[in-house]
């Protein structure tokens, strides 16, 4: 009876500890971008183990990689999958759109949770007017395909934008869309309103600091203590640039007649390394930015303009990607190196098969000591 009681008590402690850790991780509500422009990344099955150890429950892909979607079956990780800009024109054909959903979404449900499809990425940031004109018809056809397959209630359709869609973002109360884009954006916003899908924005305060390091306060962009700024029109006070950027988007939406749309942050992050002319790209700043961002998310804090709407954010990115073109910073946004070691520590330490992080070693040691202690009680 004594042995049974000890076993019961030990199991209860294990269950309570596991529940506490899960609740703490789930409270963050943060997602992560899983890019794969690299030749040295771990297999999707190993990434699935890593993200499960981190208890990250939301992942955004830039495609619909079948290897990834199969690897995450049964994990309860919620996915955003993407259709690249190069395929947007094809999706203006209803039959091809239906075929895409049948091949890339339908077979993986419900084992793998797919909640959203992004059609294109930052389409309005370029000069391809044909691509811009094709965007909404493509989104409509993907939505229609989901409806045909009975999936429209569980999978939404949207697209992501950079802040270059705004003609003005400061102060936030003056946020407005570029006039040359209004003809493309208005039908898009109508689609969002009809389907109740969010407006996604890729917001990077780092770019503002990089462009004017002598004029932009580093503390302001890193969520560090600072004097902040006060919007002269709304009188709202901002203690960080990200919130100001998001509220500028909300203002732009209201100005065009869509104050009811929800804004989500589909990308934000900070590089840990850059070229000599890329000011602020250091591991220390990346750790501060992402660490402070996670604290704000954990607080379920909204922006000054929308204080009751907690941030819904996807951090960029899971891994450093060695094949990305452009400046050095583009290859160094990852929270992890491809071998699973953290680039810096923001409290999201996990275990990749074949590698045990410092947190993993502590947990492993704790579990081993616990098991040994339990076994010791059996023979005493």
Q: Are 334 and 34 in contact (CB under 8 A)?
A: no
- The set of catalytic residues is 122, 267
Say yes or no: domain 29-354 is CATH 3.20.20.80: yes
Alpha carbons 276 and 291: distance in angstroms, whole number:
24
Give the CA distances from residue 312 to residues 13, 71, 160, 161, 266, in Å, rounded to whole numbers and listed in that order. 33, 25, 14, 15, 8
Give the CA distances from residue 300 to residues 27, 88, 107, 122, 308, in Å, rounded to whole numbers and listed in that order. 9, 35, 34, 27, 9
- For residue 43, give the DSSP letter: P
Tens-of-pLDDT digits for all 380 residues of the chain? 454 444 444 344 333 333 333 443 344 468 999 999 999 999 999 999 999 888 899 999 999 999 999 999 999 999 999 999 999 999 999 999 999 999 999 999 999 999 999 999 999 999 999 999 999 999 999 999 999 999 999 999 999 999 999 999 999 999 999 999 999 999 999 999 999 999 999 999 999 999 999 999 999 999 999 999 999 999 999 999 999 999 999 999 999 999 999 999 999 999 999 999 999 999 999 999 999 999 999 999 999 999 999 999 999 999 999 999 999 999 999 999 999 899 998 766 656 665 444 334 434 433 333 333 433 433 44
Residue range 231-251, pLDDT digits in tens = 999 999 999 999 999 999 999
Residue range 97-122, pLDDT digits in tens = 999 999 999 999 999 999 999 999 99
Q: Are 304 and 237 in contact (CB under 8 A)?
A: yes
- Each domain of the chain, given as residue ranges in start order, spans 29-354
Strands 237-238 and 229-230: antiparallel
Q: In whole angstroms, how large is the CA radius of gyration of the chain?
A: 23
Tokens of 195: 């389907």
């Amino acid at each position: 009876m004594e042995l049974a009681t000890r076993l019961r008590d030990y199991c209860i402690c294990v269950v309570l500890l596991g529940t506490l850790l899960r609740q703490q991780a789930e409270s963050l509500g943060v997602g992560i971008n899983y890019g794969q422009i690299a030749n040295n990344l771990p297999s999707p099955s190993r990434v699935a183990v890593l993200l499960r150890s981190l208890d990250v429950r939301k992942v955004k892909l830039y495609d619909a990689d079948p290897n990834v979607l199969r690897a995450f079956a049964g994990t309860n990780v919620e996915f955003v999958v993407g259709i690249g800009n190069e395929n947007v024109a094809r999706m203006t054909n209803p039959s091809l759109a239906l075929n895409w959903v049948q091949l890339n979404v339908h077979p993986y449900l419900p084992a793998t949770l797919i909640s959203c499809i992004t059609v294109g990425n930052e389409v309005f940031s370029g000069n391809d007017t044909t691509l811009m004109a094709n965007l909404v018809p493509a989104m409509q056809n993907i939505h229609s395909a989901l409806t045909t397959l009975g999936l429209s209630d569980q999978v939404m359709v949207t697209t992501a934008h950079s802040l270059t869609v705004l003609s003005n973002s400061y102060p936030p109360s003056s946020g407005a869309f570029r006039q040359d884009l209004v003809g493309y954006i208005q039908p898009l916003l109508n689609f969002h309103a009809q389907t109740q899908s969010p407006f996604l924005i890729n917001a990077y305060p780092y770019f503002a600091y990089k462009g004017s390091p002598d004029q932009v306060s580093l503390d302001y962009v890193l969520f560090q203590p600072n004097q902040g700024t006060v919007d002269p029109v709304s009188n709202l006070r901002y203690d960080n640039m990200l919130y100001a950027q998001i509220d500028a988007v909300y203002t732009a939406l209201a100005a065009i007649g869509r104050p009811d749309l929800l804004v989500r942050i589909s990308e934000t992050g900070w590089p840990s390394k850059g070229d000599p002319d890329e000011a602020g790209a250091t591991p220390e700043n990346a750790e501060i930015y992402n660490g402070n961002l996670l604290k704000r998310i954990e607080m379920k804090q909204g922006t000054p303009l929308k204080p009751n709407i907690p941030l819904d954010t996807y951090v960029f990115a899971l891994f450093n990607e060695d094949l990305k073109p452009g400046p050095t910073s583009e290859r160094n946004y990852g929270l992890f190196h491809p071998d699973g070691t953290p680039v810096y520590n923001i409290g999201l330490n996990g275990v990749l098969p074949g590698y045990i992080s410092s947190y993993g070693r502590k947990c492993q040691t704790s579990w081993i000591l616990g098991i040994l202690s339990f076994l010791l009680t059996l023979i005493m």
